[in-house]
């Protein structure tokens, strides 16, 4: 999991940096990415519309990427944690039953709702919010994050 987190964090930093460079230095970014197409790149300059477009698209890119990081990051961590914990709890449900699942969930800092869930299994919560459902009949559980 941490390898994926580092990969996506590095990718996010690189993309935000490129967007910021588009906002701050649109002519240089145009020169870096587009001027090579011309026979005499030192003579050709971008139009004012292209400079404006680079600035606007860079600003929009920063807004979208920061929004994805703020909203998507915590959600990604919650889902990854749920999937990892759910696999362990499903295995415990098959071998040790509901008491083993309840004991392990409490060790992980999770709560088990009173009584079985609608599928005949246990409903696990984290700080009162739905977290996962672990079936008692050996079928596949699911994350509610």
pTM of the model: 0.65
- What string of pLDDT tens digits covers the 145 residues of the chain? 667 778 888 999 999 999 999 999 999 999 998 988 888 888 888 999 999 999 999 999 999 999 999 998 888 888 888 888 888 888 888 888 888 888 999 999 998 875 555 556 788 888 888 888 887 666 788 888 7
What is the DSSP-derived secondary structure letter of residue 137?
S
Torsion angles phi and psi, residue 116, rounded to 5: -75, 155
Separation between Cα atoms, residue 124 and residue 64, nearest integer Å: 33
pLDDT score, position 114? 57
Dist. CA 136–CA 124, nearest whole Å? 13
DSSP class of 96:
T
Contact between residue 102 and residue 122 where contact means Cβ atoms under 8 Å apart: yes
């Amino acid at each position: 999991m941490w390898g994926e987190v580092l990969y996506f964090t590095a990718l996010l930093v690189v993309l935000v940096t490129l967007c910021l460079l588009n906002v701050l230095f649109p002519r240089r970014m145009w020169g870096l990415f587009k001027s090579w197409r011309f026979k005499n790149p030192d003579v050709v300059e971008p139009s004012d519309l292209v400079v404006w477009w680079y600035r606007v698209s860079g600003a929009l890119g920063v807004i979208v990427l920061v929004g994805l990081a703020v909203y998507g990051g915590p959600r990604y961590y919650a889902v990854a944690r749920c999937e990892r914990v759910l696999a362990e709890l499903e295995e415990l449900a098959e071998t040790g039953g509901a008491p083993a699942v309840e004991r392990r969930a409490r060790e992980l800092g999770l709560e088990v709702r009173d009584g079985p869930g609608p599928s005949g299994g246990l409903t696990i919560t984290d700080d009162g919010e739905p977290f996962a459902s672990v079936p008692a009949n050996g079928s596949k559980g699911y994350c509610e994050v």
